């Protein structure tokens, strides 16, 4: 399968951001992409906290509906990146996976909202559900940005059968090395493929790290977008997940009968 990770700068106008994303998706569809991954809160810009309430949408609102139509038209899987989802009185950081028929297969509400230099914890409600989705290629697990620092979530995804992690993110540049390391670690310790899409450029005075990437089960980067607006593409064979686990059976050596209490 061919995975494309879209890296872009989120501007102040949501309509312009939607148009930019649509153009990127159409371009990569022409190159034969089977799955496209988008960044975190790309339509508003992650750090546009004052816009969250006004820019929030229900899950069947215009942004998700537009992405569903695109996936259907272009016959590809589309990881929607995340939007600010409005559900009653609560707001969530919500991503989803759309099928090539335009069906929203499932959604994931970010479990670990972020507080360091961010108002996300103040404004948004934490998700409560670990989400994996079966596709024709394999089982994918959805995670968002700060989730990368919590390895227990990724173990839960693997225990639900995930062989590909999809990461949507708005990771700032001061912790770029953490970004590069954590994506590779989450892949290698769980022996899965990982595709991550990050914002880049400036958003509300914050510089984003870019470096959207695709990583294989041995922690080898197959593609990296660097510091610029671009889309990176990698061809992956998910059969390599089973091969890696057979060759180096670390997951099979887990000791479930030990509580690890010290």
CA distance 42 to 199: 7
Residues contacting residue 1 through CB under 8 Å, at least 6 positions apart: 34, 35, 137, 235, 236, 237, 238
Catalytic hit among 40, 57, 85, 120: 40
Q: Which of 20, 57, 120, 145 is catalytic?
A: 145
Q: Are 34 and 76 in contact (CB under 8 A)?
A: yes
Measured distance CA(9)–CA(212) in Å, rounded: 12
| 243 is annotated as an active-site residue | no
Please identify which of the residues 9, 20, 110, 120 carries the catalytic annotation.
110
- How far apart CA 210 and CA 196 sit, in angstroms, is 10
- If you search the block for the tokens 């954590």, which residue do you land on? 182
Distance of alpha carbon 221 from alpha carbon 160, whole angstroms: 24
Count of CB atoms situated within 10 Å of the CB of 56 = 20
Q: Is 145 a catalytic residue?
A: yes
State the catalytic residues: 40, 110, 145
């Amino acid at each position: 399968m061919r995975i494309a990770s879209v890296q872009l700068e989120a501007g102040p106008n949501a309509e312009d951001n939607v148009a930019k994303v649509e153009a990127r998706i159409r371009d990569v569809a022409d190159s034969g992409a089977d799955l496209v991954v988008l960044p975190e809160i790309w339509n508003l810009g992650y750090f546009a906290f004052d816009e969250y309430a006004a820019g929030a949408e229900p899950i069947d609102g215009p942004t998700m509906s537009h992405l569903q139509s695109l996936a259907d038209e272009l016959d590809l899987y589309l990881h929607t990146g995340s939007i600010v989802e409005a559900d009653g009185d609560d707001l969530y950081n919500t991503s989803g996976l759309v099928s090539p028929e335009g069906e929203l297969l499932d959604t994931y509400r970010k479990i670990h909202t972020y507080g360091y230099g961010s108002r996300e914890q103040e404004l948004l409600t934490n998700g409560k559900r670990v989400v994996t989705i079966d596709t024709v290629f394999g089982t994918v697990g959805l995670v968002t940005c700060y989730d990368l620092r919590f390895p227990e979530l990724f173990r839960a995804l693997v225990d639900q059968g995930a062989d590909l992690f999809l990461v949507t993110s708005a990771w700032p540049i001061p912790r770029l090395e953490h970004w590069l390391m954590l994506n590779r670690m989450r892949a290698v310790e769980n022996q899965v493929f990982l595709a991550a899409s990050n914002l880049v450029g400036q958003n509300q005075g914050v510089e984003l790290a870019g470096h959207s990437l695709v990583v294989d089960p041995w922690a080898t980067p197959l593609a990296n977008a660097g510091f610029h607006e671009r889309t990176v593409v990698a061809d992956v064979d998910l059969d390599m997940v089973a091969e890696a686990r057979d060759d180096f059976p670390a997951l099979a050596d887990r000791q479930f009968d030990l509580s690890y209490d010290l």
